[in-house]
Amino acid sequence: MTEIVGPTTVRSFGFNIPCRRFLIRANVTHDRRLPVVDEFVLRALKLCEDVPVRRLATYFGFSVAETEKVMGDLMAAGLVIVDGDNARLHPSAHEHFRGSEDGAPQIVEVDSWVERLWFDLVSRNMAAPDRARMVRSHLIDIRPSDMARDLPASYAMKAFEQNFAEYLRRVRRMRNPNRFALYSVSESIAERFGSLVFRMEEELVFDSEPHLRPNLLTIEAEEMPRFTKLATAMLDAYRGLNWMSSSATALAEFSGLSGESTVTDAYGGSARFDLGRWLSLNPDKMPPNRRNLVGASYIHRNVNSLVDLIDDLSKSPPSVDLAKEHEIVWYRPGGSGWGCSPELQEAIQSIKFALRRKFGKGPIRTKLICPSVSRRDHPERFKNLFDEGFFAPAGFLSPAVEIVHIPEVATLMLVNVALSASVEIPVGFASTAAQPLERAARKLARVDVKFDEIWKGERREEDELLPSPPEVDDNSDD
C-alpha cells in the first residue's frame, strides 16, 4: 500500500444473529422456451393463422414422418388444431405469446419447491446464510427480541408470499429472479433455532478530519428501513468494543522489534500520526520482501500481502526442514474488539495454505499469546481457532503491539497509532527479511516454558480437514 484513496477498510467484524428456520412448501411457476422447431411452427401459424400442413412441411423442409411427429406433439400439447389438411393455433396457444419480448412463445411450468428459510429474531426478516462454514465462538453475540422468539409459522408463510422476489435475489442469490413467480404456498413449518453470521467492516474515511465509519455489508441500503432493529443492535454492540490506545511505550517497543523508526518519524513530534507521510517513508515493495500494512492483521488485504511474500520466496530457506512441524505464533493486542471477525479464521487458513504450497503438507501448530490485560476479554473464545493459548506476563510487550510470527519464514508487525484524538488504527508491515524474523524469534522464543498456559489442544494438523461446504448453525434451543 502506497496511498489511501477513498474509504479504506481497517477492521472487520462478525455478529452471531439469532434466527429460526422454517420449512416452506411452495409451487413456483417459470417460463420455458419450446424446442426450436416447435417454436418456429407456432410463430408461422400465428402470422398466417390458417396454413396447409403440406405447405408448412415444404417451408421447413420436413419429411412426411417429421411433419407427423411435429404436428402430433403440438396437437398433444393442446397448442395446434389440424382440421383436414390445414393447421391453425389453438385459441389457448395465443396466451403463450403474451409478455414475450422477442415474440417467442413461452410455456409456463409449475414446480414444487421445498425451501428452508431463516428469519432473524431481532428484526423478523428473511436472512441469507453466509456461504462460508466458520467457527463462531469468537464472534459478537446479538440477543434476540423477546417477541421475535415466538415467530409463528404463519408469519413466515406470509413473509415468503409477500417477499418472494427478494427471497430469490437475496437468499437464493439468483441473477434473473423475474423468471419465477410464486403460484401458491401449501405449508409452513417452524423448525429449529440457530444463528447466522452477519458481517461488518470499519472504514477509514478522510474528510476534513479522519473518522471511522461502520459498513453493514449484509444489509443493503434499500433494505435498511426493514432491518432497523437489527442494524441498531449490531451498531450498539460494535460501539461497545474497546481497543488499546497508542502510547510512547508501544511506539518504542515497535521500533525496537521492527528495527525502523518510520512510525515515530511520521508523528513529527506532534500528537497525531501522519499516515500519508508514513507511507511515503516506506515506498511499497521497497525492499521487495516487505509490504506496508494498514488496519487489522487479519483483514483480507493484509493477509494477502503476507501470503504473497510467502509465495514469492524463491526457494525454501535452507534452515527450514520440510518434514518438521511449523508454527504460527500470534501475539494479539489487547481490547475486546480484536479478532471478532470471520476473517481471523480465514486468515489462519490462508497462511496455512501458503505454507503448504511452499513447504509441503507438514503439520502446522497455531499458538495465541494474549497480553495480561486481556484476561477479562474471555480469551478462551479463540480456543477453536488456535491449538494453544497462553498469557504473557505483565510488561512482556505493549498490548498495543501485534506480532504474527512464522519461524524462519515470515513475520507481521503492527502498532496502534493515533490519527486524531478519537481515531486510532494499526499500521505496520509484513516481511520475509532475516533481521525482523530474528528479532521476532528472540522475543517469542520458548513460549511454552515462559508463559501461562490457557489451553492446549491435542488436534494434529495432518488430521485437519480442508474447509467444509457451506453450513448454518445447527444448535437448537427447542
pLDDT, one tens digit per residue, over 246-290 is 999 999 999 999 999 999 999 998 999 999 999 998 886 678 899
- In this prediction, residue 460 carries a pLDDT of 44
Q: What does pLDDT average to over the chain?
A: 86
CATH of region 35-104: 1.10.10.10
- In this prediction, residue 224 carries a pLDDT of 86
Can you tell me which residue has the cell 486481556?
374
Report the 10 Å Cβ neighbour count for 133: 13
- In this prediction, residue 316 carries a pLDDT of 57
Q: With 60 as the cut, is the pLDDT of residue 463 above it?
A: no
Q: With 80 as the cut, is the pLDDT of residue 22 above it?
A: yes
User: 3-class DSSP state for residue 340?
Assistant: coil
What are the angstrom distances between the C-alpha of 150 and each of 14, 25, 124, 167?
Answer: 25, 21, 10, 22
- In this prediction, residue 471 carries a pLDDT of 38
Q: Please state, in angstroms and rounded to a whole number, the distance separating the CA atoms of residues 162 and 181.
A: 11
- In this prediction, residue 104 carries a pLDDT of 60
Write out pLDDT tens, residues 144-161: 876 556 789 999 999 999
Percent of the chain with pLDDT strictly greater than 90: 55
- In this prediction, residue 33 carries a pLDDT of 65
Q: Please state, in angstroms and rounded to a whole number, the distance separating the CA atoms of residues 192 and 23.
A: 10
C-alpha cell at 237: 454492540
- In this prediction, residue 88 carries a pLDDT of 87
- In this prediction, residue 319 carries a pLDDT of 54
Between these two residues, 170 and 368, which has the higher pLDDT value? 368
The residue ranges of DSSP E strands in 121-256, in sequence order, are 126-127, 140-141, 180-206, 210-215
Boundaries of every domain in the chain: 8-28+110-239, 35-104, 248-463
Q: Please state, in angstroms and rounded to a whole number, the distance separating the CA atoms of residues 353 and 348.
A: 9
Residue 467 has what DSSP assignment?
P
Q: What is the pTM of this model?
A: 0.79
25-36 in b/e form (b: 16+ CB < 10 A) is: ebebeebeebee
- The answer to whether the beta carbons of residues 157 and 182 sit under 8 Å apart is no
- In this prediction, residue 130 carries a pLDDT of 78
Burial grade of 341 (CB within 10 A; 0-12, 13-18, 19 or more): buried
> Poorest-confidence range of 38-42, 211-215, 411-415, 447-451?
38-42
Q: With 60 as the cut, is the pLDDT of residue 477 above it?
A: no
| Angle (nearest 5°) at CA 273 between 267 and 275 | 115
What are the angstrom distances between the C-alpha of 195 and each of 37, 205, 400?
Answer: 51, 32, 32
Q: Which residues contact 256 (CB under 8 A, 6 or more apart)?
A: 439
- The answer to whether the beta carbons of residues 196 and 129 sit under 8 Å apart is yes
pLDDT band at 389 (very low <50, low <70, confident <90, very high): very high
Write out pLDDT tens, residues 51-100: 898 888 888 888 989 888 888 888 887 888 888 888 888 887 776 766 55
